[in-house]
Amino acid sequence: MKRGLILVLVFLLSISSVLAFQAEYEPLQNEALPGDSVSYVLHLNNNEENHYTAVIKSTDINWLMDKDPQKYVVRSGDKKDVTLLFNPLGSIPPGRYGIKILIELSESETRLERILAATVVDYKKAVDTRFSSLPVLDPRRTTMVKLNVVNNYNIVLSNLDVEIFSEHFSSKQKLSLDKKEQREIEFPISLTENTLKGDYNLNVKISLGKNSLLEEEFAYTVGEYEDAKQLIEPESGFLISGESVTLKNEGNSPAVQSYSKRFDYLAYKFASFSTEPNSITKDNGAYNVEWSYVLSPKESRVVTYSVNYRLPTFILVLIIVVAALVYVFRKKNAIVINKRVLAMHGHEGNVHVMKVVIGVKNRGNTGISNVRVVDRVPTMIKAPAQFGTMRPNHIKSAPDGTLMVWDINYIRRGEEKIITYRIDGKMQVLGRLVLPSAVAKYKSFGRMLAARSGIASLHERR
């Protein structure tokens, strides 16, 4: 009985001695493609009072540990992390493996064995694909299709070749995926216009270098389309115009093809048609003429019309010429300027007050911008003392008198601007004073024009 208790006690002490030195691991890269390495971190934890030298050896027949064996001194109460790298020996088929390592403590007879889990991934199971967008393809335009590629394992896949192809198209892209990553890539698909409608198959192929990861087939549809075209060829002669219109159906199904033309009253009255229109409607004095046909695939129809413009063109040109002459004449003489003088006389013909009134009127068809009015007071008369609501922009002294300039920004059609100024002082000028003309300068059709008033003589105002 006593001997049995002693054996149990020794066994428990040996277990506690082993558990006091711990060796645990966590994977860094425990999934790999065939031929690639795997790696782990081994955590050594010495909870005993003694120092130990841990000798790590690989006892596995399929994996070779880098730097085998490895020795590390782990002091009492210390921890040490060791990175272990394993390379496969030869060609290892895909599957799950346990890499056996042995940890020997050189200062004791303690030996720890660990099995590191590793997975060799089959190339054919590394990725999956699906189309998130595979619409009905229209041969007339480019369609973007979206392909989802999923990395199924914790393996970095770099420089993958992703290709989609069918009897109608082929497109290829490079792609890299991180661990467990899912990516969506877009492929522009262009078909020739003569591609027949129907259901077809496209193939998706993904490879890594010389290794094929995936080959999968998907169905896609080429849609039905109508391709109605119009070829318009103008036909003209002396004052005669017209068109020859060819209506075509280049699609792969029947199509309704229409052509309409709007004629004014005169054009319609002088128009002739090679093929009678399907409908003629009147709208605000004009005529809408329409031809409409149901065309089978590859069928065409020709519509021809002509209009004799000799008489209406002659009338229209005559009206335009007359209107242009009237417009240019009125535009050329748009600004009219007049000048008059009112004076108050004293005894013996002396002038006490003289008021000058200048009217600038736009009689043209449109508004006139930037009109400059220039007037002059002779040297024998004093410079103006007062001005009306429109004051001059510039007043200058000249050898022949005082020069005044008014800049008018805009004069509306039919509007008249009034400029006034007053001269005070006694002047013996009765019977011999005549004021010079006022001038209005402006630009019309890119040319500078000038309108001039008549000379102004005094009129007595008492």
Each residue of 156-179: pLDDT tens digit? 999 999 999 999 999 999 999 999
Residue 253 pLDDT > 80, yes or no?
no
Q: Which amino acid, 265?
A: Y
pLDDT value of residue 16 = 41
pLDDT value of residue 358 = 92
The angle subtended at Cα 239 by Cα 234 and Cα 241, nearest 5°, is 20
Render pLDDT for 108-117 as a digit per residue (tens, 0 to 9).
788 899 999 9
Residue 57 pLDDT > 70, yes or no?
yes
User: What does the alpha-carbon distance between residue 259 and residue 270 come to, in Å, rounded to a whole number?
Assistant: 20
Task: Label residue 252 by pLDDT band (50, 70, 90).
Answer: low
Render pLDDT for 409-431 as a digit per residue (tens, 0 to 9).
999 998 999 999 988 766 555 44
pLDDT value of residue 11 = 40
Superfamily of domain 333-460: Mu homology domain, subdomain B (2.60.40.1170)
Chain position carrying tokens 């895909």 = 94
pLDDT value of residue 9 = 41
pLDDT value of residue 127 = 95
Nearest C-alpha neighbor of 197 from the set 171, 222, 164: 222
Give the mean model confidence (pLDDT) for residues 196-223.
91
Render pLDDT for 293-351 as a digit per residue (tens, 0 to 9).
887 776 788 888 888 777 767 777 888 887 666 566 555 678 999 998 887 655 555 66
Contact 266, 283 (CB under 8 A): no
State phi, psi for 393 to the nearest 5 degrees: -80, -30
| CATH 3.40.50.2000 is held by the domain 19-120 | no
Residue 455 pLDDT > 90, yes or no?
no
Q: What is the percent of the chain where pLDDT is above 90?
A: 38
User: What does the alpha-carbon distance between residue 38 and residue 31 come to, in Å, rounded to a whole number?
Assistant: 7
Chain position carrying tokens 């002082």 = 425
CATH class of segment(s) 228-311: mainly beta
| CATH 2.60.40.10 is held by the domain 124-222 | yes
User: What does the alpha-carbon distance between residue 309 and residue 238 come to, in Å, rounded to a whole number?
Assistant: 9
User: What does the alpha-carbon distance between residue 369 and residue 443 come to, in Å, rounded to a whole number?
Assistant: 8
Task: Label residue 18 by pLDDT band (50, 70, 90).
Answer: very low
Residue 462 pLDDT > 50, yes or no?
no
pLDDT value of residue 280 = 87
Beta-strand relationship, 211-222 and 170-177: unpaired
Same topology, domains 228-311 and 333-460? Answer is yes
Domain ranges of the chain: 19-120, 124-222, 228-311, 333-460
Q: What is the mean pLDDT of the chain?
A: 83
Beta carbons within 8 Å of 61's beta carbon, 6+ residues apart: 89
